[in-house]
Structure 1
Amino acid sequence: MNKTLCKQFFTLILFFPSIGFVFSQSTVLGTKSWQTVLSGNVLSKIEPSSYGFVVITEGRLLNAFSENGQILWQRNLGQKGSGFCVSMNGDFVYTAIDKKLSLFNTSGIALWTIETKTPIVEKPLPGWDGRLFVREKNAISSYTINGLLRFRLEVSDGLDFPLVSLNDGSLLYVQKKNLNGKSTALRISPFGAILEEIIFVDTIRSLTESKNGLVLGLENGNLAVCHVVDNLFDTKWSIKIENKRILDVFSWENNILVQFSDGSFALFDEESKEEIWQTGSITKEKIEDAIFDMEKGIFRSFSRIFVINKDGSVEKNIQVQNNSRFSGLTESGFFVEVKDDWSISAYRIALVENRLHRQSGIKTYPLPPIKASSAELYKNAPTLFQSINLFETEAELISRLRLDIKTVQNSYFFMEKPSQSFEMLALKIKTIQNAAYLGTGEPMSLYESILDRESDESILFQCLRAIQKNAYDYDMRLLLATEKRLVQRNQISDTLLEEYCYTITEICRFMGRKTFMRKGKDLLFSFLDAKYKMTVQETARECLEKIIAFEK
């Protein structure tokens, strides 16, 4: 469906004096915080993470560094070439080299590797419930957190703008196709269906996600915020900026920061569209990296690094010599400089506290209402969930699955004694089995309720097996629910205790964080007590050894 954006706009003339920006004494990088020498050239851009950064180097190595330059782990990727690496969804690291897509957890454990049909052309994009969107050459594909292919949609050639997520969770893909100077884009559901084709009022120069949807800078000088309303892409507001040409746009909490081609910057309120301040010329180069917190933003262009405070003052403006395209900023405010002599050095630019993350604004896509016709479809859910290119059929299945999850949870929360009728037992088993094939974070609340309240061991056994298929426990709710269960319940069969051991181990393996490893070892160590049978102790010991091996 074609849709032309609203052409009404306000005119804003930027003629009043800019805020006087003050440079600090530091206009050079200063003293190195640390330096290290690698085993080869850097082949990917520095990718920030909560613990430091990750980068791909020669020798097919994925390297994870702490903020102070310590190598935390190195993993062989098994394939030569430059590529992309990106840290997301709780510091999982995705790597993309040519057609090879891999997932590593925070400890560097390789969780899975798949091969796409065509080369991957940009960093993967995280979506709602843990799924991942991958832009290939002339295609967009989607994978679950445990590596299941959900869809692959062939598309026409695209421009260099990244795939972005809109306010309703749908995707926007900017096409190379241009209609009389007007950019075009496809809006795609997270299930792979093309929802509409959008025709903009002019050529797009820059875009970024925001809390309200999408910020656009257009060739004609328009600054616009667009969003999805009633399942249609529309313009929330648009203003015409005279005597200025937009070079780039950034989302900064509730505001929009605009970089102009004359090197100046201006901050706008995203709701009122009013300008808050503007600076004089800082840099005419396009920004390569930007890190924001509530008080400031750190920016890196090819030859400059500077800090803009939230009040519009410029704290630093540092010229950088021989800046590599692979250099970058870390989450805490270090500039990591990559050099041709295989060395990397770090310089403290500013202290960033509580960095504002783009993916923190991921929304849940609105699912369709449950149809009577989907009941028959739902009977084949386990088979269908293992298929690809379900498109909107997947949305229908998830809608009905959510209803079943709610029904099961209500049986625990709104009854003094949870119902154990044959019908309810059958519903619980069916719901767990269907949820196990989703490969996302959707069933976590179901599993948590079962671990907390269920008394039937056959249901608990099914639940633990389902968790082992997809142990994505991003906020440790499942591991903590397991601990609570084991502490409060004394009458647990040996077979089920062993299943708990396997589940604890798989959660620790998949998530990889040290906090998970510590908690998992504590739980398994408790099973070594003499009050447990030797079979349980032996299983716990084997699982404990696996977790210790994960940490190496």
Structure 2
Amino acid sequence: MKKNSIYLLLIFLAFAFQHLYANPSWEAVLGGTVLAPPQATSWGFVTISEGNFLNAFTEQGTVIWQKKLKSKPSQYYYINRDDFIYLVYDNKRKFALFNPSGVKLWERTITDKICEKPFSGRDDRVFISTKNNISCYGINGIRKWKLATSSANTHFELLELNDGSLLRILENTGNGNTCAIRISPYGGIIEEIQFSETVTNCYSFYQGIILIYSNGDIKCWTVKDNTTICLWTLSKQDFNSTSTQKKLIIGKGSFCIVYKKPNMSSISLCCINSTTQKKIWEKDITDLHINGKETFFYINGEFIFSSQGYSISFNETDGTIAWKKFLKEPKNHNFFTISKSGYAIYTTSDWTILGYRLYQKISSNLDCSTIKKNSYPVFPFPTKKEYPSLKTISQAFSTGDYGEQELVYKWYLEKQKELVLKDLYTQTTSKNILLDTEFPLVIAKSGTSEYNAIIATMIAKSNNSSITQHALLAASILGYDKDGKILTAIENLFSTKKNYDTPKTIICGIDAIYSICRYMGRSEFNNQGKNILMKAIANGDKNIRQYTILTFEKILNLKM
């Protein structure tokens, strides 16, 4: 009887222990091994895999789309805040932009190997790094500039400072200390910097950048009056750590230092207020160890730590445990991430992706390392500058490689924009018809999202059909309508019956709708675009109806 009781107890304990570990909520199978960590999107996540595939999944592991690539992708890919995908492939000498539906919008070839993932700037320009060069491309794929630099230390990625300038950490050192250069987003070297110690880790931050030094200190560097200065310092004594194995997780109002205390193998945490640099809370996690396999995340006001199947989350404000989870981790997994809606995503070497539900909250924010700004402050003009015209700016935007002259162009275009807006709001466009028709076509070629609002305003406010048509043509050239303002302006235009008395305006609007739907690649844009086209079918003449139907078919053929 006693033996049977012990046997039953062992069975019960084994069963209970087994159920301490969560099983996958879903599984999906790919046509090859995943080559890099999955990256979260607003709809789920994206992976790249053997067989030259780019794959998109929902949060529940359902395949949304798969795109076959012409050559093998590298591990470098980047998804911006609007779910556009920059992918490096073909032996790291090509990169391409894909919209959220996986439609390739353009691709470019470069001579040197790309050495890190692409990086989007504030106005959606993109920066491409090789060992000895940095290049900048517009959202239209035209190169704005290329800058030769000293060899980069490829252990560190390109960093963005608080003013939008870029910091590249160099391979060469000064007396053994880390050196860097600060570059404007317009391609000029602003500063050469030598730090006082060797940098071991670095992070972009809303105040600037945070550097961890080999002596254990942590410093924040910021740009003030166009000069990089040290804003504050945390010494290792401030949080009881002599460890140099430190990492940071950037939160919304704080950052969390991850480190090892003396004579301890487990992880210690210290949460610091970003504004005051005062300690908020401190924790030791005896279940997690720094072994190179740990991962850290900040999602929805929580710091999340995961290692070897164990995940635990702490509330940012007070350090209380939000939740913890033991996962039945696949033995042959190669990559791990956490999705925005709370799934732990594992990929394995046998082509499988597994999702484990960690928590129920839904977040739209994974990255708090930088403030999401849409424009740059004023940078100093280049030493050599040429007074432009709309014609010379248009030519430069079309051919590319205009570098810091873009600063002069922006200054000139801002002056012209003031005149255009004055004409629109005073309804005196006939006085400056040449400016008011040429201006939108120039700014559409800028390769940035900076001028979206003025194009939408011109469509909405102009009472001159020629200006309206040129603004619609500009929308077709641009395609990129990140806030949906241009498409909304077109919808209002198509809702007024008298506008159908000028068929050319409607035709220009139909072309703009197609261009925006194709570029943006999102269902909400497609649905709105189709609804607008239905207005054209209902209110337009025979020619407009035929042209609208053809455009419908073009949108359907995109298979988005």
Same fold (TM over 0.5): yes
Counterpart residue number, 2:217: 222
1:406: Cα distance to partner?
Answer: 2.6
Partners of 1:368 and 1:399 within 8 A in 2: no
Partners of 2:115 and 2:130 within 8 A in 1: yes
Choose which of 450, 455, 469 in structure 1 pairs with 2:458: 450
1:188: Cα distance to partner?
Answer: 0.6
What amino acid is aligned across from residue 362 of structure 2 in structure 1? Answer: E
**What runs of 5+ residues in structure 1 fail to find an aligned partner?**
1-24
1:157: Cα distance to partner?
Answer: 2.2
SS in structure 1 opposite 2:270? strand
Counterpart residue number, 2:200: 205
**Separation (CA, whole Å) in 1 of partners of 2:332 and 2:280:** 32
The C-alpha deviation readout for 1:432-488, integer Å capped at 9, x for no partner, is: 232022011111111111111111111112111111111110111110111012213
SS in structure 1 opposite 2:45? strand
Counterpart residue number, 1:400: 412
What amino acid is aligned across from residue 519 of structure 2 in structure 1? Answer: F
SS in structure 1 opposite 2:550? helix
Counterpart residue number, 2:65: 73
Choose which of 324, 341, 346 in structure 2 pairs with 1:337: 346
Q: Which has the higher contact order (CA 8 A, sep 6+)?
A: 1
**Separation (CA, whole Å) in 1 of partners of 2:107 and 2:171:** 30
What amino acid is aligned across from residue 366 of structure 1 in structure 2? Answer: P
Counterpart residue number, 2:8: none
SS in structure 1 opposite 2:547? helix
**Separation (CA, whole Å) in 2 of partners of 1:288 and 1:101:** 30
Residue 417 (structure 2) pairs with residue 411 (structure 1): no
Gap change, CA 1:299 and 1:156, over 3 Å in 2: farther
Gap change, CA 1:291 and 1:224, over 3 Å in 2: same
Choose which of 301, 309, 319 in structure 2 pairs with 1:312: 319
The C-alpha deviation readout for 1:366-398, integer Å capped at 9, x for no partner, is: 225789975346651111223443222111111
SS in structure 2 opposite 1:481? helix
**Separation (CA, whole Å) in 2 of partners of 1:248 and 1:391:** 36
1:532: Cα distance to partner?
Answer: 2.3
The C-alpha deviation readout for 1:87-132, integer Å capped at 9, x for no partner, is: 2141111111111111111111111111122122222111011111
Partners of 1:253 and 1:356 within 8 A in 2: no
RMSD, aligned CA: 2.4
Counterpart residue number, 2:445: 437
- 1:31-180 alignment, distance < 5 Å: 31-97=23-89, 98-159=92-153, 160-180=155-175
Partners of 1:291 and 1:333 within 8 A in 2: no
SS in structure 1 opposite 2:140? coil
**Separation (CA, whole Å) in 1 of partners of 2:385 and 2:85:** 40
What amino acid is aligned across from residue 418 of structure 2 in structure 1? Answer: K
**Separation (CA, whole Å) in 2 of partners of 1:299 and 1:171:** 29
Larger Rg: 2
SS in structure 1 opposite 2:442? helix
The C-alpha deviation readout for 1:139-177, integer Å capped at 9, x for no partner, is: 211111121111121222222111111110111111111
Gap change, CA 1:139 and 1:379, over 3 Å in 2: same
**Separation (CA, whole Å) in 1 of partners of 2:18 and 2:122:** 42
Counterpart residue number, 1:12: none
Choose which of 399, 402, 408 in structure 2 pairs with 1:390: 402
Counterpart residue number, 1:244: 242
Partners of 2:385 and 2:408 within 8 A in 1: no
1:303: Cα distance to partner?
Answer: 6.7
Counterpart residue number, 1:192: 187
Counterpart residue number, 2:258: 259
Residue 277 (structure 2) pairs with residue 283 (structure 1): no
SS in structure 1 opposite 2:135? strand
Could you tell me the TM-score, scaled by structure 1's length? 0.89
Gap change, CA 1:202 and 1:28, over 3 Å in 2: farther
SS in structure 1 opposite 2:22? coil
Counterpart residue number, 1:183: 178
What amino acid is aligned across from residue 364 of structure 1 in structure 2? Answer: S
Counterpart residue number, 2:304: 298
Counterpart residue number, 1:381: 393
Residue 353 (structure 2) pairs with residue 366 (structure 1): no
1:316: Cα distance to partner?
Answer: 2.3
SS in structure 1 opposite 2:123? helix
**Separation (CA, whole Å) in 1 of partners of 2:294 and 2:112:** 26
Partners of 2:341 and 2:360 within 8 A in 1: yes
What amino acid is aligned across from residue 386 of structure 1 in structure 2? Answer: S
**Separation (CA, whole Å) in 2 of partners of 1:342 and 1:61:** 12
Give the % identical residues. Answer: 28
**What runs of 5+ residues in structure 2 fail to find an aligned partner?**
1-16, 262-266
Could you tell me the TM-score, scaled by structure 2's length? 0.88
Number of aligned positions between the proteins: 523
**Separation (CA, whole Å) in 2 of partners of 1:26 and 1:131:** 50
The C-alpha deviation readout for 1:313-361, integer Å capped at 9, x for no partner, is: 3442647564644332212221111111111111112334332434652
